[in-house]
Structures are given as structure tokens and as C-alpha cells.
Amino acid sequence: MKFSKSSQLFLVSRVSLIALVGLFLATALTSCEITTIDYLFVASSQGGGTSPAGQIQTYDVDSQSGAVRAGQPTVLSGGINPVSMVVTHDTQNLYVANQGSSTVVHFDLSGVGILTQKDSVTLSAPPVFLTDNIADTYLYVVSGTSSATLSAYPLSSGVIGSPVAGINLSLPGSFAGDTLIPTGVAVLANNNTVYVTVYDQSAYNPGGAVTSLANPGWVFGFTVGSGGALTPVSGSPWQAGVKPSAITSDPTNRFVYVTDFASNQMIGYTIQSTGALSFMVNGPFRTGNEPESIVVDQRGLYIYVANELDSSVSAYEINLATGTPSAAVNVTGSATNITDTAPVSILVDAALGRYVYTANHLGNSVSGFQLNPNTGALTPTQATPYPTGFQPTALASINHGSHAEQSVAP
């Protein structure tokens, strides 16, 4: 994720009051008994004071209200400026990408949300985003701030192995020399295909020189073969607006969704049997201003988009036949769900799929919403927003206890 949007700085003036109110309410919650269903992890771009080290905070999530409170002690992220996190599906491991130190760090997870740093790898370029497959056998990392590389790392009991694939992404033909900047990576639930979003800085470079007539935004697709080998899908890459900022897929391996930061849109694709992508005929779909992060709930019914400039979340219901997203109607009659300032990461809780959270980069907070499972509408959780460390950038969560997790079948 990128956080150099100077156009948003005027919004910071409201942060102090919101943070103070949130701090008071969150402190009050710590004295109340809560029933934990999740542990929510929040990565912040640096620690307290002037320390450049990143940090990861752990919060307990209340099963009845969705409110969060401070849990286990904060730990260092193992590097500088963490920008992305992912938890393995067996809930045993957490990985964090530290952009400032070009590292990916592995943490062991105990059953009560305790993080213990284990191994790490150093990349040749700063990581931008990471994810793992459902089988927990590979970790996929996109890296580069002046180039774009997709790397696949094998996982063995959580330990990060040597990369089995490292692909430098480039456009075909006359645009092969253009500068591509990665923004996101997603892997299908069947573990068979990986997609990467990039934008062409040679064609889209606000405030700088433009030297290419190529389409600015792209999605690359790769099939996963024996030993983790990555092979380009026929027809890849596909156009993806102007500046794609995030990518996700539905749990049935039928649809892919990409947010376009520059055009304030979401682009929908249908996945063909070969892994190739086709545009949804009635797209793209309107979002708020500067959509930065996107998530599909575990049942594949709803999409939620964090809009950084608007400080809001857009909610959509998925047509299960076509994948088309349509705006979900909130009980308040409004399609806008207000967060604290500049949300840059969003997730649905891992336990029951009942709560949505955003990391608010300029608000130094997390905003919480309760998800209506019948309509997809969101309502604010108790005492939201909740104070975090300085400039939070990424979220992850795991379920707590032996209760069943939310079904992924729509």
C-alpha cells in the first residue's frame, strides 16, 4: 500500500478529538467482561515515540458487540514500516511484510493470540503485499517500488523456505520496458491460480513525466504447477483501469474484483476454466473516492471496500449467478459507512463473519462495524473507533477457541 497522498493531510485535524474519545471508551471496555471470538492484529508503521520500528498490536474481539480491547502485549514487527499481514488458515502462523527493511517476518501464534517471532527472509526490493494459499503451502509476495516481482515461498510447518518462483512482471510487445509498480496479490481458494495487480508508472505518473501510451492498470494471472512453479495464464495480463490498488476473489473460484484507486471504481471479472479473466459486462462499479482495500466475506455474499479519501466503507451484495455487485442498503438508509480518517485496510472477522474492521492510517485507529448476515448492511460497533499505534497499515485476524468458523459456501 502507498501512503503518500498529501491531499488527505487536511483531514488530520479531526483525529485528536476522535482518538481521545475512542481511547476513553476503549479503556472503559477493558474493565468489562467480554467473550472473545477473535484476535485482531493491527500492524502500525512505526512504534511509539521516535522509534522507526514497526509494531503489531493484538486486540480481543467481543462476540456480542464486535467491540475490541487491548489483548496480548504489543510486539515489534521485526522490521520497519509493516504494510501487509496474513494469517495461515490453520491459525498457527502470521506473516508481516516490512517495506522499510525489505523483509518478511514469520510469527508463531499461540491459542491465546501470543505472537512469537520465528524466521524471516530478506527481499531484493521492498515488499508491497503478501498472501498465502488455503493449503498453507505457499506464501506469495509482490515487491518493488520501481519494478514488480512476484515471488512464491514454500511453507513447511510455517517456516519460510527458499523461493520456488520469482517472476519479474513486464508488459508484452512495445511496452515491455515500461515501469510496473505492484499493488496486490490474490490466490484462488482452489490454490490453482494467482493474480497480481500492477500499474504502469510510465503511463500513469501524476506530477511526473509520462513516457508510454500503454493502458495504466493491469492484472497478471499465473497457474500454480508442480513444486509451486508459476506459468502465465493465456491472455494475461488483462486491463484493470488506471491505478488498481487491491484485488480479491470469491470463495467459489468464479469471480475476481479489483479496486481502481484513480477512477473510484471496482472492476469485476469472471474466471474462465483456464484461469483467464473476462470483464463483467455491466461493470465497472462505482466506489467511494480513492478505494484502497477490498474484501469478500467468507460466504461469498458481500463485498466491502475501504475508501481512503472519503473515510468510508462501500458495501455490495453479490449476485451469485453473475458475480455482479449491487449496493447493499443500510438500515440507516445510507450507502456510506463512515470510518475514522483514511482507511487503508479492511477485513471481515475470521470467526463468524459478523464484523468488519478497517485500519485508519491517519486516524491512528481501527473502525468496527457489525455485518447483517441477511442484507450485508453495516452498523457501527460499540465505542468505535478504537485507538491503535501510529499510522496503522494492515489487519489480520484468527478465531479463538473451538467454535465452528463461518462457512465459506454461499
| Nearest residue to 196 (alpha-carbon basis) of 188, 186, 204 | 186
Find the mean pLDDT for residues 326-340.
75
Model pLDDT, residue 28: 45
Model pLDDT, residue 14: 42
Q: Is the pLDDT of residue 254 over 90?
A: yes
Set of cell numbers at residue 323 = 458475480
Q: What is the pTM of this model?
A: 0.90
Set of cell numbers at residue 116 = 512469537
Model pLDDT, residue 400: 76
pLDDT, tens only, 341-366: 999 999 999 988 999 999 999 999 99
Q: Which pLDDT band, with edges at 50, 70 and 90, does 406 fall under?
A: very low
- Residues linked to residue 139 through DSSP beta bridges, in sequence order: 132, 153
Find the mean pLDDT for residues 255-282.
97
Q: Which pLDDT band, with edges at 50, 70 and 90, does 33 fall under?
A: low
Contacting residues for 154 by C-beta, under 8 A, at least 6 apart: 137, 138, 139, 160, 161, 162, 164, 228
Half-sphere exposure of 56 (CA within 13 A, CB side): 33
Angstrom distance (rounded) from CA 287 to CA 299: 22
pLDDT, tens only, 64-106: 999 999 999 999 999 999 999 999 999 999 999 999 999 999 9
Model pLDDT, residue 53: 82
Handedness of CA 335, 340, 341, 347 (dihedral sign): negative
Find the mean pLDDT for residues 314-333.
85
Model pLDDT, residue 45: 85
Domains and CATH numbers, the chain: 98-286 (2.130.10.10)
pLDDT, tens only, 171-181: 999 999 999 99
Q: Is the pLDDT of residue 31 over 50?
A: no
Please name the helix (run of DSSP H) or strand (run of DSSP E) that holds residue 356, with its range, or none: strand 355-360
Q: Is the pLDDT of residue 26 over 50?
A: no
Q: Which pLDDT band, with edges at 50, 70 and 90, does 47 fall under?
A: low
400 vs 91, residue with greater confidence: 91
Does residue 241 come out as left (phi exceeding 0), alpha (psi in the -120 to 50 range) or beta?
left
**Cα 205 to Cα 209, 266, 410, distances in angstroms:** 6, 21, 40
Angstrom distance (rounded) from CA 348 to CA 25: 22
Q: Which of 13-22, 126-135, 240-249 has the lowest mean pLDDT?
A: 13-22
**Phi/psi of residue 24, each to 5°?**
-60, -45
Angstrom distance (rounded) from CA 343 to CA 68: 17
Q: Which pLDDT band, with edges at 50, 70 and 90, does 336 fall under?
A: confident
**Cα-Cα-Cα-Cα dihedral of 201, 203, 205, 208, to 10°?**
110
- Other C-beta atoms lying within 10 Å of the C-beta of residue 59: 26
pLDDT, tens only, 203-253: 999 999 999 999 999 999 999 999 999 999 999 999 999 999 999 999 999
Q: Which pLDDT band, with edges at 50, 70 and 90, does 331 fall under?
A: low
Burial profile 151-179: b = 16 or more Cβ within 10 angstroms, e = fewer:
bbbbbeebebeebebebebbbeeebeebb
The percent of the chain in helix, strand and coil, each rounded to the nearest 5, is 5, 50, 45
Q: Is the pLDDT of residue 314 over 70?
A: yes
Model pLDDT, residue 140: 98
pLDDT, tens only, 364-379: 999 999 999 999 999 9
